[in-house]
């Protein structure tokens, strides 16, 4: 079947519906939803029962990049910096040195067992060197795997921040495959340029985006998530234009925004959570359509060999050497090395050799696809089991509520006070978002004359308003008093 304007919406919506329905029940059988999305795409493709002919790596790459923007941005928004801060060094080392060591060790193995050149081998190693944010986020959060200490933040920080490193390595070795006379120095300079400019741009756009979101008056709550989408794509594309790493920039930008006070923040977070799931489904369906299963079969043997080496040798090498200078129990290091999930990102990166037209591009793509599938099947289905074997999982009775529910947990419920805002108060004519209320206090309602006003970030406080404030304790009340200056309690 050839996709046309007339049937693309019908086919797309049916595939989306089937993916959601099938994914809902998949975990009863221990199968990650992501692998089912891939399988549905493959069944709908030209080699499957659907017979849909899709063989355009350029469109697949475009869909992949757009999807990764949403997935990384959503992951960044959900990253609690307070939880990440204690393990920031470990996470950054894993996402840089760990990725490099994985790429080099796997590339060396590929060079020995195949007829690839050294640069082609390193290119393959680079493509699959990073853990996949979509796979890690979706599996850890969907299964609600609760891990001891800071293990889960470490895994999520690594998976969210290591794609830029893999992307740079992929571009670097692809350049060397195409032009073997290219100077190694120029590749090293490109690496530092990408990472430094990406980091600076991400932080700068994060601060700028916060100002724009909180200062602009759109009138409709539903427009704020749309505004954030625009800012996300501006961050990514502008960073790429100046020679920086757009993936790194949007992740840093999102982490910054996710830990700031924003107008309609809850609406923005919920929208991006839904969009991240939609993009994961669309991405895996697209990649499933792009692959031809009949072309993978000849490479299954070498693909399985490379995949096993990646899981049991290359990934542990990257993890253990990267963490050798940090105090960490051996079983935690083993679990981190096991959560080296490969998913959609390597397949998207594998489209770059296809578009560049290098000799072994098709072989690389099919091997990478097979590695991603086996990684999700082998590692993705055993994360819970290994967490119990290695004794890094929390007992069910003390499991925290899922990450997406943390905003409910943040609402203090132990005390309530009504605070009158006198005419001379600091809060008069200021928006709630600009007051920077302490985290231990929450305005649940505003009495304004005979009316009750539901507070939001853009709500302007007026004189004689009565704020109904939920508090943690008396210390929280003192912080509020200092913030609002002179006022009376009733």
Tens of pLDDT, residue by residue over 374-386, are: 988 888 778 878 8
Which residues span the domain enclosing 464?
Answer: 411-489
How many helices (H) does the chain have, and how many strands (E)?
25, 5
Note whether 102 and 229 are same-domain residues.
Answer: yes
Whether the CB-CB separation of 67 and 280 falls below 8 Å is answered with: yes
Q: Provide the number of structural domains found in the chain.
A: 2
Cβ-Cβ contacts under 8 Å for 403 (sequence gap 6 or more): 78, 80, 141
- For residue 404, name the pLDDT band (cuts at 50, 70, 90): very low
Task: Check residues 366 and 407 and name the one with the higher pLDDT.
Answer: 366
Q: Give the C-alpha separation, 285 to 271, whole Å.
A: 21
Q: Are residues 264 and 348 in the same domain?
A: yes
Tell me the per-residue pLDDT of 120-160, one tens digit each, with 9 for 90 and over.
999 999 999 988 776 776 666 666 666 777 787 888 788 87
Domain boundary among 345, 378, 403: 403
Structure tokens at 8: 């693309």
Rounded average pLDDT over 411-434: 75
Higher pLDDT, 6 or 397: 6
Question: Are 133 and 62 within one domain?
Answer: yes
CATH number assigned to the domain comprising residue 451? 3.30.70.1450
pLDDT at 487 over 50: no
Which range is least confidently modeled, 183-187, 206-210, 265-269, 460-464?
183-187
Domain boundary among 386, 403, 420: 403
Residue 301 sits in the same domain as residue 420: no
Least confident among 111-125, 182-196, 197-211, 229-243: 182-196
The last residue of one of the domains, among 379, 403, 427, is: 403
Contacts 24+ apart (CB under 8 A), 16-21: 16/278, 16/281, 16/282, 16/285, 19/281, 19/285, 20/281
Dihedral of alpha carbons 109, 114, 118, 120, sign? negative
Report the share of the chain in percent with pLDDT over 90: 26
Token digits of residue 330: 């051996």
What pLDDT, on the 0 to 100 scale, is given for residue 147?
73
Residue 325 shares a structural domain with residue 290: yes
Mind listing the pLDDT tens digit for each residue in 301-312?
Answer: 999 999 999 999
| Least confident window among 109-113, 142-146, 178-182 | 142-146
Among candidate residues 349, 319, 489, 371, the one with its CA nearest the CA of residue 420: 489
Q: Is the pTM of this model over 0.95?
A: no
The rounded distance, in Å, linking the Cα atoms of 314 and 308 is 9
Rounded Cα–Cα distance for residues 15 and 478 (Å)? 55
pLDDT score at 438: 74
| Contact (Cβ atoms closer than 8 angstroms) between residue 249 and residue 419 | no
d(CA 252, CA 436): 22
d(CA 237, CA 161): 18
Task: Give the residue-averaged pLDDT of 72-89.
Answer: 85
pLDDT at residue 322 in the model: 92
CA dihedral 218, 219, 225, 230 (to 10 degrees): -20
Mean pLDDT of 197-205: 94
Nearest to 166 by CA among 109, 128, 124: 128
- What pLDDT was estimated at residue 473? 67
300-323 burial code (b ≥16 CB/10 A, e <16): eebbeebbebbbeebbbbbbbebb
My answer on whether 399 and 423 are in the same domain is no
**pLDDT at residue 318 tops 50:** yes
Of residues 476 and 262, more confidence is placed in 262
In this prediction, residues 453-470 reach a mean pLDDT of 81
Q: Domain of 128: which CATH number?
A: 1.20.1530.20
Averaged pLDDT for residues 446-454: 82
Q: Compute the average pLDDT of residues 419-429.
A: 81
pLDDT of residue 188: 83
Please identify which residue in the block is written with the tokens 């692998």: 35
Q: DSSP strand E in 437-486: where?
A: 441-448, 451-453, 466-471
pLDDT band at 278 (very low <50, low <70, confident <90, very high): confident
Please tell me whether residues 195 and 312 are part of one structural domain. Answer: yes
Distance (Å, whole) CA 161 – CA 194: 14
pLDDT of residue 152: 79
Res 480 pLDDT > 50 = yes
Q: Do 193 and 139 touch, CB atoms closer than 8 A? A: no
Pick from 221-235, 315-329, 395-409: least confident: 395-409
Q: Answer whether residue 99 shows pLDDT above 80.
A: yes
391 and 428 share one domain: no
pLDDT of the residue at 434: 77
Mean pLDDT calculated for residue range 162-185: 86
Q: Is the same domain home to 29 and 118?
A: yes
Domain co-membership, 16 together with 69: yes
pLDDT for the residue 145: 64
* Shared domain check, 190 and 168: yes
Whether 419 and 397 map to the same domain: the answer is no
| Spatial distance between the Cα atoms of 257 and 259, rounded to a whole number of angstroms | 5
Query: What's the CA gap between 199 and 192, in Å, rounded?
Result: 10
3-state secondary structure of 472: coil
């Amino acid at each position: 079947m050839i996709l046309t304007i007339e049937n693309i919406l019908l086919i797309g919506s049916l595939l989306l519906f089937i993916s959601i329905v099938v994914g809902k029940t998949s975990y009863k059988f221990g199968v990650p939803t992501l692998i089912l999305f891939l399988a549905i795409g493959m069944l709908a493709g030209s080699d499957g029962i659907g017979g849909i002919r899709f063989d355009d790596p350029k469109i697949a790459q475009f869909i992949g990049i757009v999807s990764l923007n949403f997935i990384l941005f959503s992951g960044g928004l959900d990253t609690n910096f307070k939880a990440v801060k204690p393990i920031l060094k470990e996470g950054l080392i894993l996402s840089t040195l760990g990725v490099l060591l994985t790429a080099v060790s796997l590339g060396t193995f590929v060079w020995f067992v195949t007829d690839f050149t050294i640069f082609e081998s390193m290119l393959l190693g680079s493509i699959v060197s990073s853990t996949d944010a979509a796979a890690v986020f979706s599996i850890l959060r969907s299964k609600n795997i609760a891990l001891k200490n800071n293990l889960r933040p470490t895994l999520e920080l690594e998976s969210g921040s290591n794609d830029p490193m893999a992307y740079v390595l992929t571009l670097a070795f692809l350049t060397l495959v195409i032009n073997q006379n290219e100077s190694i120095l120029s590749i090293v300079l490109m690496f530092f340029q990408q990472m430094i400019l990406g980091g600076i741009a991400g932080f700068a756009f994060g601060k700028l985006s916060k100002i724009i979101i909180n200062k602009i008056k759109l009138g409709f709550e539903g427009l704020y998530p749309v505004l954030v989408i625009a800012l996300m794509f501006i961050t990514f594309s502008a960073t790429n234009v100046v020679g920086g790493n757009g993936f790194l920039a949007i992740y840093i930008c999102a982490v910054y925004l996710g830990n700031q006070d924003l107008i309609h923040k809850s609406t923005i977070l919920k929208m991006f959570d839904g969009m991240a799931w939609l993009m994961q489904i669309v991405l895996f369906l697209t990649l499933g359509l792009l692959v031809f299963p009949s072309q993978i079969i000849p490479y299954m043997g070498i693909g399985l060999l490379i995949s096993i080496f990646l899981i049991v040798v290359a990934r542990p090498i990257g993890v253990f050497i990267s963490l050798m200078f940090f105090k960490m129990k051996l079983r935690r290091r083993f679990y981190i090395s096991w959560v080296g999930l490969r998913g959609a990102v390597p397949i998207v990166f594998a489209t770059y050799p296809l578009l560049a037209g290098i000799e072994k591009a098709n072989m690389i793509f099919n091997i990478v696809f097979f590695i991603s599938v086996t990684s999700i099947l082998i590692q993705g289905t055993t994360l819970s089991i290994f967490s119990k074997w290695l004794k890094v999982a929390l007992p069910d009775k003390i499991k925290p509520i899922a990450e997406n529910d943390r905003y409910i947990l943040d609402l203090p419920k132990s005390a309530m006070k009504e605070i009158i805002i006198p005419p001379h108060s600091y809060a008069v004519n200021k928006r709630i978002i600009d007051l920077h209320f302490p985290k231990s206090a929450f305005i649940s309602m505003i009495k304004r004359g005979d009316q009750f006003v539901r507070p939001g970030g853009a709500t302007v406080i007026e004189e004689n308003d009565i704020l109904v404030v939920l508090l943690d304790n008396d210390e929280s009340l003192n912080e509020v008093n200092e913030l609002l200056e002179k006022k009376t309690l009733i």
